[in-house]
């Protein structure tokens, strides 16, 4: 007697395809989950860089005129920080996502802080308080 006489062969083939399909779906789900976790971690690192910039600005402002400090921006994650855009905020841009961090000074010079676009070296910026206005310049 042939297996196809009762349709058993067709059922077995369908069952095998169903199992393979389920296994593929599970693998895709695991890979997607791991990718999302990595992206979330990088976004958190970008936020930490923004917080570091905001802390430097707030410290320089609170210490008064003549005070300055250097901050080092690592090459990774690749960020752009828009200082005083919008006013009294730092907007950190990472992979098209924006994070806004409030800063204290109202007299803040508008500038941009970027990490190394080649992802190779640290970039040092000087944050200084000149007569109550906070300035940022790349060294």
* Segment 2-21, tens digit of pLDDT: 555 666 677 888 888 999 99
Q: For residues 139 and 33, which has the higher predicted lDDT (pLDDT)?
A: 139
Q: How many domains does the chain have?
A: 1
Domain encompassing residue 131: 3-138
Which tokens sit at 53? 């910039």
Please tell me the pTM assigned to this model.
Answer: 0.72
Question: How far, in Å, CA of 45 to CA of 58, rounded?
Answer: 20
Q: How many CB atoms lie within 10 A of CB 131?
A: 8
State pLDDT tens for residues 46-73: 999 999 999 999 999 999 999 999 999 9
State pLDDT tens for residues 68-97: 999 999 998 899 999 988 899 999 999 889
């Amino acid at each position: 007697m042939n297996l196809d006489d009762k349709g058993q062969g067709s059922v077995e083939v369908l069952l095998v395809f169903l199992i393979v399909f389920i296994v593929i779906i599970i693998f895709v789900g695991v890979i997607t989950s791991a990718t999302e976790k990595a992206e979330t971690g990088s976004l958190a690192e970008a936020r930490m860089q923004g917080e570091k910039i905001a802390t430097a600005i707030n410290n320089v402002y609170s210490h008064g005129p003549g005070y300055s400090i250097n901050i080092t921006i690592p090459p990774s994650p690749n960020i752009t920080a828009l200082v005083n855009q919008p006013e009294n905020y730092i907007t950190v841009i990472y992979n098209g996502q924006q994070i806004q961090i409030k800063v204290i000074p109202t007299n803040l010079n508008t500038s941009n802080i970027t990490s190394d676009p080649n992802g190779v070296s640290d970039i040092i910026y000087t944050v200084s308080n000149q007569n109550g206005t906070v300035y940022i310049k790349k060294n």
